[in-house]
């Protein structure tokens, strides 16, 4: 009998010690701010890392228990996936706006811990299934294919280049802030880019700022060298040239002020006028690595409603960027884009070009946009492929790459500048949002051949 009592007592003490060995569960979020879109595909997710001392992480339960604004998303609209120490939370938004979601971990003994996820949802867009959102900035202005399904994207409000996975929405995989390398205290206002081999060429707008003031940093063209591809891409700053605007003005003056570049760059002149001065595209001529095309948003040629879009060839662009030689120019090209100006030009290895055409005006997000194909030859007319949608926020700004335009059903991915858009219905422009995770530009695939 005595032995039996001792055995029971020992078992009871061991059981109590084991029950008391669990610690308080913990959880952490990979980001406390998250953006999504109504009806979106491949929206960003947040990783939730959980732990509880004395317990297997796989035995813990993660749920979203509360939403501060159920009209935007309810707790059940937040799906939790995964096992083990790391889970994922993805939100399926119901409506545009903001909500705070409470994420909870429950330990094996019933103890809990919570974190708040601040969520913002933008409205549904067309076509939603073919759209992705690149977060971290909202002013995408130029893009270059990095291979393996990735792209490097520039922002005209900063001097930071960002690498994104083209297939999914979310934050950049890598970033490169080149301000100190370029020697720029303000934004270069990057608007155009093109790649030859392992060199990417980037150009500022070369124009005045929106207040009509000359800012030297905008008169910048620079290069980056590429190593690797895809997610392993590495960019290294190359060199800059800071006199291309001066060269263009001098050339135009020497040719009878044909395009009014001197007047368009005067103090007080804003760049986004029909007779202003604003470069938005950069691409090389067919079969060339020395002659580059500068595509202008302004001026039109002539600078009247219905005027043609202007392309100016820089015939020694390799020397301009290689040794700082002053730019020389070829015969300008005037393209009939139905009264629209150039927002981007991109070609493929077969010298097939796509042109994004849009208004020269500053408040143009709802003005017409169209996509044209071209063969890059002066005197040959562009062909309109499709009208681009304008009912959703953002202006179409960049073409990532050009597919084979002889193949039916070929698709191209275009990116918007959403900087001036009110994405979440609170009257705040995207560029002024306080959290980078809520800033975003839209990347959409369009079928360009039938």
Task: Please report the DSSP string for 263-275 in residue order.
Answer: HHTSTT--SSSTT
Sheet with 353-358: strands ordered across: 341-347, 353-358, 369-374, 383-388
Q: Are 230 and 146 in contact (CB under 8 A)?
A: yes
Q: Are 214 and 264 in contact (CB under 8 A)?
A: no
- Calpha distance 269→263 (Å, rounded): 8
Domain 22-122 matching CATH 3.40.50.1820: the answer reads no
Q: Are 244 and 327 in contact (CB under 8 A)?
A: yes
Q: Are 25 and 50 in contact (CB under 8 A)?
A: yes
Q: Sketch the domain layout of the chain as residue ranges.
A: 22-122, 128-447
Tokens standing for 125? 């867009």
**Tell me, what's the pLDDT at 366?**
77
Q: Is the peptide bond before 36 cis (omega within 30 degrees of 0)?
A: no
**Tell me, what's the pLDDT at 122?**
98
| Partners of residue 103 on adjacent β-strands | 64, 115
**Tell me, what's the pLDDT at 15?**
40
Query: Which fold is adopted by the domain 128-447?
Result: Neuraminidase (2.120.10)
**Tell me, what's the pLDDT at 362?**
85
Residue 94 dihedral angles phi and psi, to the nearest 5°: -95, -35
Which residue bears the tokens 């020694």? 316
Which regions in the chain score pLDDT beneath 50?
A: 1-18
How many Å from the N-terminal Cα to the C-terminal Cα in the chain? 91
Residues counted in the chain: 450
Identify the three-state secondary structure at position 30.
coil
Q: Are 424 and 33 in contact (CB under 8 A)?
A: no
- Calpha distance 86→108 (Å, rounded): 16
């Amino acid at each position: 009998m005595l032995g039996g009592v001792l055995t029971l007592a020992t078992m009871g003490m061991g059981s109590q010690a084991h029950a008391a060995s669990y610690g308080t569960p913990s959880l952490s979020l990979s980001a406390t701010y998250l953006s999504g879109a109504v009806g979106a595909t491949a929206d960003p997710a947040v990783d939730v890392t959980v732990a509880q001392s004395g317990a297997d992480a796989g035995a813990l339960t993660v749920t979203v228990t509360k939403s501060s604004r159920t009209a935007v998303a309810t707790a059940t609209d937040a799906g939790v996936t995964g096992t083990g120490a790391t889970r994922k939370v993805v939100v399926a938004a119901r409506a545009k706006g903001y909500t705070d979601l409470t994420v909870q971990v429950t330990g094996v003994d019933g103890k809990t811990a919570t974190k708040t996820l601040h969520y913002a949802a933008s409205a549904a867009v067309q076509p939603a299934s073919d759209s992705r959102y690149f977060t971290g900035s909202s002013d995408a202005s130029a893009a270059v294919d990095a291979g393996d399904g990735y792209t490097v994207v520039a922002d005209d409000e900063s001097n930071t280049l960002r690498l994104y996975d083209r297939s999914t929405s979310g934050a950049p995989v890598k970033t490169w802030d080149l301000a100190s390398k370029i020697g720029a205290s303000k934004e270069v206002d990057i608007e155009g880019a093109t790649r030859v081999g392992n060199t990417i060429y980037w150009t500022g707008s070369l124009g005045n700022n929106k207040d009509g003031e000359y800012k030297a940093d905008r008169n910048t063209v620079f290069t980056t060298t590429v190593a690797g591809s895809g997610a392993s891409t590495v960019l290294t700053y190359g060199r800059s040239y800071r006199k291309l605007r001066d060269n263009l003005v001098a050339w135009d003056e020497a040719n009878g002020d044909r395009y009014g570049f001197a007047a368009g760059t005067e103090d007080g002149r804003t760049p986004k006028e029909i007779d202003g001065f604003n470069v938005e595209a950069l691409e090389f001529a067919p079969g060339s690595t020395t002659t580059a095309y500068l595509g202008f948003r302004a001026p039109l040629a002539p600078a009247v409603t219905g005027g043609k879009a202007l392309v100016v060839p820089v015939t020694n662009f390799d020397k301009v960027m290689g040794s700082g030689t002053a730019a020389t120019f070829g015969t300008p090209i005037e393209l009939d884009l139905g009264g629209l100006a150039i927002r981007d030009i991109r070609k493929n290895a077969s010298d097939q070009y796509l042109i994004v055409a849009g208004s020269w005006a500053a408040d143009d997000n709802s003005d017409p946009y169209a996509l044209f194909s071209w063969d890059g030859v002066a005197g040959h007319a562009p062909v309109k492929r499709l009208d681009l949608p304008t009912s959703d926020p953002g202006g179409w700004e960049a073409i990532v790459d050009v597919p084979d335009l002889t193949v039916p059903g070929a698709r191209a991915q275009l990116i918007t500048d959403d900087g001036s858009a009110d994405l979440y219905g609170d009257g705040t422009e995207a560029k002024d949002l306080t959290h980078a995770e809520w800033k975003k530009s839209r990347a959409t695939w369009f079928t360009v051949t039938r």
